Amino acid sequence: MRIAVLGTGGGGRAHAARLSELGHDVTVGTRDPERTMARTEADMMGNPPYPVWLADHPGIALATFADAAASADLVINGIDGANAVRELTAIGEHLDGKVLIDYAVPYEYNPDIPHKWETPWGWMPRLDPVDTDSLGERIQRALPRTRVVKACVTQEQETVVDPAGVGDGDHTMFVAGDDADAKAVVTELLRSYGWRDVLDLGPLACSRGMEMYAHMHTAIGLALGGRFGVKVVR
């Protein structure tokens, strides 16, 4: 499949690398490809400069958000929550009718506070929106002809693309969305990552719970200090 991964952060890189390994035709989208390729320092999350990463992943293309989306059958949104709606709206014509996987948590980054995840909760970003709305729904309202599926929200991205790396791989991936066919496409992709237990929570409004799980996820991660998954036990 021709897949666009929008965003050059750690999550986008994990998807792009795994999808390329699985034989897909992957284009990473960025705001300004020239600027991305000129980076020489780690990003604010500590990921190595993009050109260093790209050198280790030949075969992955880099393009503008618009060009990446235009050439793709399926799009993965890895643009941070604070900017996703604006950036996706700007390239909306290239997303018409397409399946868009959104895994972002809508953290409200405050540029006045250095980005760090101290203790629960020395400091942690707020969520915006929260409770009565979600980023997933906002993106869907901004792009009514795009088939938004919320998924890959409740794990570290390393675990999203390699579920077998935690326990025996028997933990749960959640999906939500208003288009059943789109969810089937995403579920198949997730199975190719190794997910055996994919639970469809229902309509896209379930994004609220998935995004709000972020604080619990962070707390569990800080308590355990390592990779983990969550399994729904029936």
Local structure of residue 166 (DSSP, 8 states): S
Verify binding: residue 180, a copy of itself, rule CB under 8 A.
Answer: no
Verify binding: residue 191, a copy of itself, rule CB under 8 A.
Answer: no
Verify binding: residue 165, a copy of itself, rule CB under 8 A.
Answer: no
Residues contacting 194, CB < 8 A, separation 6+:
162, 163, 164, 169
Longest dimension (CA), the chain: 50
Q: Under rule CB under 8 A, which residues in 115-144 are in contact with a copy of itself? A: 119-121, 126-127, 130-132
Segment near a copy of itself (CB under 8 A); pick from 64-72, 110-118, 177-185, 203-211: 203-211
Nearest CB to a copy of itself, comparing residues 1 and 230:
230
DSSP code string of 53-73: HHHTSTT-EEEEHHHHHHT-S
- Residue whose structure tokens are 């198949």: 188
Nearest CB to a copy of itself, comparing residues 51 and 120:
120
Separation of CA 110 from chain center = 20
Verify binding: residue 161, a copy of itself, rule CB under 8 A.
Answer: no
d(CA 221, CA 229): 10
Q: List interacting residues with a copy of itself (CB under 8 A).
A: 119-121, 126-127, 130-132, 166-167, 170-171, 174, 176, 199-203, 205-206, 208-210, 212-220, 222-224, 226-234
